Copies of this chain bind each other. A is one copy, B any other.
Amino acid sequence: MNGDSFIKYMARQSRSNNSTRAAVADKREAILRAAITVFARNGYFNSKVSDIAGEAGIADGTVYLYFKSKEEVLHSVFDRLMEEMISEGEKELEGIIDADKRLRRIAQLHLEKLGSDRNLAIVAQVELRGSTKFMEEFSAAGFGQYLDIIRQTFIEGQKQGVFRQDLNATVCAKIFYGALDEMVTNWILSKKSYALAPMADTVMEVFFGGVLKK
């Protein structure tokens, strides 16, 4: 005995092919966006699942239809961010051949991306680091890949003869990333409001030419 009405039956039919998948993605997306807002506001550990659900305008239980746990929500935020940064980066870097120009473009993209969404930046910089376990086990993949892109670009530059060959590419990649990262962290914590993206230029200036007077 199925109590469903005809109307509901039709509605389910119409949903089942295209729109279902899209709707699912939409709601997942909405939850992730809500999570970023909430995590940025209170931190991961101080955020309740019900806060996320409330922010997303859904019931608490619904979160569990799209994510296995609160932790998985956090991982998904990170995964999506890394995925986006890498894929967007690849697209943007497609035509750029010179390693120095590629590196400069990476710096710009990095700061543009995080500078355009303060909440996302907060979660990325602060919350995602709130757990050694997380850093070790989960972020490894995405983050390592990101750092590797920088490293490969640096090596390419060394081959191209633009970058000094006496420097360790891995360490240089870290320095480069660390410098950018610090720009973001300070931007988040700053009480003043300023654009993040333009700082890419100064970073590149120093990274390329150093601070010593010649």
Chain A 34-56 interface mask (CB, 8 Å, partner B; 1/0): 00000010111110000000000
Q: Is A171 an interface residue (CB 8 A)?
A: yes
Residue ID in chain B nearest A15 by CB atoms: B3
Partner of A129, one of B126, B136, B207: B126
**A122 to B, closest residue via Cβ:** B132
Given contacts A7-B6, A8-B5, A178-B183, contact A167 B133 (CB under 8 A): no
| Cα(A117)–Cα(B174), bound, Å | 21
A167–B168 CA distance with the chains assembled, in angstroms:
25
CA gap between A127 and B130 in the complex, in Å: 5
**CB neighbours of A100 from chain B (8 A):** 212
Choose among B42, B172, B181, B211 the residue that contacts A178 (Cβ–Cβ < 8 A): B181
Q: How many copies does the complex hold?
A: 4
Q: Does A177 contact B (CB under 8 A)?
A: yes
> Residues 1-15 of chain A: 1 if any B CB is under 8 Å from the residue's CB, otherwise 0?
001111110011001
- CA distance in complex: A208, B100 (Å): 18
| Residues from chain B with Cβ under 8 Å of A178 in the complex | 178-183, 185
Interface range on chain A (Cβ under 8 Å from partner): 35 or more
- 1/0 per residue, CB under 8 A from B, across A118-155: the answer is 00001001110111110110001000000000000010
22 pairs across A/B with beta carbons < 8 Å? A3-B7, A4-B5, A43-B130, A44-B130, A46-B133, A126-B129, A126-B132, A126-B135, A129-B129, A130-B130, A135-B189, A163-B212, A164-B209, A171-B199, A171-B202, A172-B202, A175-B203, A175-B206, A175-B207, A178-B178, A179-B182, A207-B210
Chain A residues with CB under 8 Å of chain B are 3-8, 11-12, 15, 40, 42-46, 100, 122, 125-127, 129-133, 135-136, 140, 154, 157, 161-165, 167-168, 171-172, 174-175, 177-183, 185-186, 188-189, 199, 202-203, 205-213
7 interchain residue pairs of minimum CB distance: A178-B182, A5-B5, A130-B130, A210-B210, A209-B210, A45-B45, A175-B179
